[in-house]
Copies of this chain bind each other. A is one copy, B any other.
Amino acid sequence: MRIGILGPEGTFSETAALLWLKRMETGNIEEVERQYYETIFDVSESLLRKDVNYGIVPIENSLEGSVGETLDLLLNENREGGMRIVGEILVPITICLLSKGTFTQIRTLASHPHALAQCKYFIRSRLQITGVKVKSVDSTAGAARLAQEDESIAALASAEAAKKYGLSILTENVQDQESVTRFIVLSSAGSRTQPTGRDKTSVIIYLKSDRPGALYDVLGEFAQRGVNLTKIESRPSKRALGDYMFHIDCEGHVEEDEIKEVLEAVERKVAMLKILGSYPRAISF
């Protein structure tokens, strides 16, 4: 078995992969080959080429909102034998200040823009007042790699990254607020999950028109059957301003009668319904 992960090593995506492998009870985790990719797009391409059996990518963070690249990928990937969501993982994000040197040596702080945004207060109150410069890089692990090369560079990254890159944890838990990132596990379209009684189904819909009440009508199909929505998120259709696709997650499995009924009714009312998959709900923290 091989899994594709948004890299480099030591990002929260790797934490997600390890949590998922543990839950799947795949036996010896060390025997699962982990491939790291630079972009979310590259993870999905490797899955479609069958270089990996599973792909793990972030989809939303409780503070920052959705990862647009992942939502667009789920919408646009329509090749035959495409892909399906077969799992989800929730990872609590704890960000640390890492460096090879000491606090007073820091001249530059590097991290991913999301991590920088999540530690605004810490950065302003502890680092910027001493003249430290802030630098955006592609990933938290990429920041750790920079810090490995230069004692004057500190990184905001995971405790995992400190181990991988031989850095000291100068301060733990520097984020302004607790947050959780939700990752999804992708597999080829052929793979199906069995209902467990605690599942979630993800779909995308595109409404027929923007007449008053079109969305209202569709949500009614869920509400009237008492099916709980765990997420509804609009995403620009990229056709015109104010024209949206809706990403909807609901409780239940697509092979259960109630969900089947809802989706059949929804399909009759919309211009497009894309079922992304049904999968066991992650345990939340």
Interface hits, A210-250 → B, CB 8 Å:
210-213, 215-217, 219-220, 222-223, 226-236, 238-244, 249
Contact B230 A242 (CB under 8 A): yes
B231–A232 contact, CB under 8 A? no
Contact with B along A59-79 (1 / 0, CB 8 A): 011111100100000000000
A90 at the interface (CB under 8 A from B): yes
* Cα distance, A231 to B215, chains bound together (Å): 11
Contacts of A34 in B (CB 8 A): none
State which of B136, B182, B244 has its C-beta within 8 Å of the C-beta of A241: B182
- How close is A275's CB to chain B, nearest CB, in angstroms? 20
A177, CB-defined interface residue at 8 Å = yes
A249 to B241, CA, bound (A): 13
- Complex: A210 Cα to B222 Cα, angstroms: 13
- In the complex, the answer to whether B216 meets A60 with C-beta atoms within 8 Å is no
Min C-beta distance of A139 to chain B, whole Å: 13
With A215-B232, A219-B216, A234-B233 as known contacts, state yes or no: A65 contacts B68, CB within 8 Å. Answer: yes
Q: Does A28 contact B (CB under 8 A)?
A: no
A284 at the B interface (CB under 8 A): yes
Query: Quick check: A229 and B241 within 8 Å, CB to CB?
Result: no
**Contact digits for A105-138, partner B, Cβ 8 Å, 1 yes 0 no:** 0000000010000000000000000000000100
- A85–chain B nearest beta-carbon distance, Å: 15
State whether A240 and B64 are in contact (beta carbons under 8 Å apart), knowing that A212-B227, A227-B212, A229-B215 are contacts in the complex: no
A238→B63 contact, CB < 8 A: yes
Does A180 make an interface contact (CB < 8 A)? yes
Q: Is the CB of B226 within 8 A of A212?
A: yes
Of B113, B180, B217, B241, the residue contacting A60 (CB under 8 A) is B241
Q: Using a CB–CB distance below 8 Å, which chain A residues touch chain B?
A: 60-65, 68, 90, 113, 136, 177, 180, 182, 210-213, 215-217, 219-220, 222-223, 226-236, 238-244, 249, 284
